Amino acid sequence: MRGLVVGLGSIGRRHARNWAALGLGPLLVCRRIGSEQVEPLGVEAREIFDLDAALNEQPDVVLVTNPTSLHVETACQALHAGAHVFVEKPLGHELNGVAELLCQAKRARQQLMVGYNLRFHPGLARMKDLVTQRAIGTLVSARAEVGEYLPGWHPGEDYRRGYSARRDLGGGPVLTFSHELDALCWLLGAPSRVMGMTTHASSLEIDTEDVAELMLRFPHGALGSVHVDFVRRPPSRSLEIVGEEGVLRWEYDTGRVLHYAPAVGHWRVEEIDPRFERNQMYLAELRHFVACVRGEIERPLIDGEQGAAVLAIALAGLRAAAAGQAIDLNDAGAPITTWLTSLGR
């Protein structure tokens, strides 16, 4: 299998190294001429500095890891070249072109997957199992939180130049940390209404929000909230769900899943394997995508429709924040309402 990684930032380098570690086949990487590389890639890969030239090499798989604002355009080009496509989250920075991208993949019967790697974390997967089993009964509320100091993400790099810090490249914590929104929707399904508040409250030199709160109403009555920020030190990530018959909590930092059942009167704590390392999520994600490409799995765990739905909700949250009023997602019309039905499966 021939692979092509488009964009060689930190996540592009990770996917390239994982491709080599899994022994998936020859690898090409495409990056801008003159783009800085803070460290050697460390794996055998041929570099090409023009996307058309790279796609002319007829890769079987293209991993789109360039700035968010280029995702949809790059993915369309890759599909047109006959490749199966993995797109890092979020699927894009706007909805223009997304419907066409999904239609193109469907017509060509090519796999299109979006990189919400948290779904491959054993802790979140365990939360999904417990919710499916109705371990805490009817769900009432849920909250996902993540915060991490942006300048500390990639030591040695200027955070102000990265895509996360720039509105024109699709940055800001609402889109960059849309993992949390995806996780809530995976567990609770599609929301029907969204509200938002955003601000730039820190001294970070970025032109996006640095902290945001999204509020979600789900059709079955539950409320959800998502907190994201580029400021918190130390970093933290967690998700909690309250039900009529208890509470579930996932702590990313400790790897624990906690379950409180009123009938028992105490927390039951499940620890993940202490040997688990962060990169194992990405390895599992890549294995899953390759299995889809090979026909061993019919549909990616996070397909294009689900990625489009999460993007639509995130963008609605940003619009709601700007307008100071809630947005009813049921009024979004096709194809957004169709995408929303894909969430939670």
Q: Domain with 201 in it: what CATH number? A: 3.30.360.10
| Cα 74 to the center of its chain, rounded Å | 17
Check whether residue 289 and residue 240 sit in a common domain. yes
Domain boundary, last residue among 117, 144, 163: 117
Domain boundary, last residue among 101, 117, 133: 117
- Domain range for 124 is 118-294+302-340
Check whether residue 8 and residue 153 sit in a common domain. no
Per-residue pLDDT at 36: 65
The CA-based diameter of the chain, rounded to the nearest angstrom, is: 63
pLDDT by residue, tens only, the chain of 345 residues: 999 999 999 999 999 999 999 999 999 999 987 666 667 899 999 999 999 999 999 999 999 999 999 999 999 999 999 999 999 999 999 999 999 999 999 999 999 999 999 999 999 999 999 999 999 999 999 999 999 999 999 888 899 999 999 999 999 999 999 999 999 999 999 999 999 999 999 999 999 999 999 999 999 999 999 999 999 999 999 999 999 999 999 999 999 999 999 999 999 999 999 899 999 999 999 999 999 999 999 999 999 999 999 999 999 999 999 999 999 999 999 999 999 999 977
Check whether residue 132 and residue 95 sit in a common domain. no
Closest CA to 44 of 16, 10, 15: 16
Check whether residue 283 and residue 203 sit in a common domain. yes
Check whether residue 35 and residue 143 sit in a common domain. no
Cis before 262? omega within 30: no
Domain boundary, last residue among 117, 151, 184: 117
Asked whether 330 and 219 are in contact (CB, 8 A), the reply is no
- Structural domain contains residue 216: yes
For the record, the structure tokens of 135 come out as 């371990």
Closest CA to 96 of 129, 69, 126: 69
- Structural domain contains residue 345: no
3-state secondary structure 31-84: CCCCCCCCCCCCCCCEEECCHHHHHCCCCCEEEECCCHHHHHHHHHHHHHCCCE
268 three-class SS: strand
Check whether residue 44 and residue 177 sit in a common domain. no
Report the C-alpha gap between 238 and 19 in whole angstroms.
Answer: 29
Per-residue pLDDT at 38: 66
Per-residue pLDDT at 32: 82
- Structural domain contains residue 179: yes
| Cα 145 to the center of its chain, rounded Å | 14
Amino acid type, 23: G
- Structural domain contains residue 158: yes
Check whether residue 256 and residue 286 sit in a common domain. yes
Q: What is the CATH number of the domain that holds 18?
A: 3.40.50.720
Check whether residue 124 and residue 98 sit in a common domain. no
Q: Where are the alpha helices (DSSP H) in the chain?
A: 10-21, 51-55, 71-80, 98-108, 122-132, 173-176, 179-188, 279-293, 304-323, 336-340
Per-residue pLDDT at 53: 97
Check whether residue 281 and residue 244 sit in a common domain. yes
Check whether residue 23 and residue 77 sit in a common domain. yes
Q: In Å, what is the CA distance from 158 to each residue of 36, 43, 78, 225, 228? A: 11, 25, 30, 31, 21
Q: Tell the burial category of 261 from Cβ atoms under 10 Å away from its Cβ (0-12, 13-18, 19+).
A: middle
Amino acid type, 109: R
Per DSSP, 273 falls in state P
Closest CA to 73 of 56, 58, 61, 85: 85
Per-residue pLDDT at 180: 98
Check whether residue 108 and residue 148 sit in a common domain. no
Per-residue pLDDT at 28: 98
Check whether residue 172 and residue 282 sit in a common domain. yes
- Structural domain contains residue 133: yes
**pTM greater than the 0.85 cutoff:** yes
Amino acid type, 115: G
Per-residue pLDDT at 34: 62
Sheet containing 256-261: give its strands across. 266-271, 256-261, 246-251, 236-243, 139-147, 223-229, 211-217, 193-199, 327-328
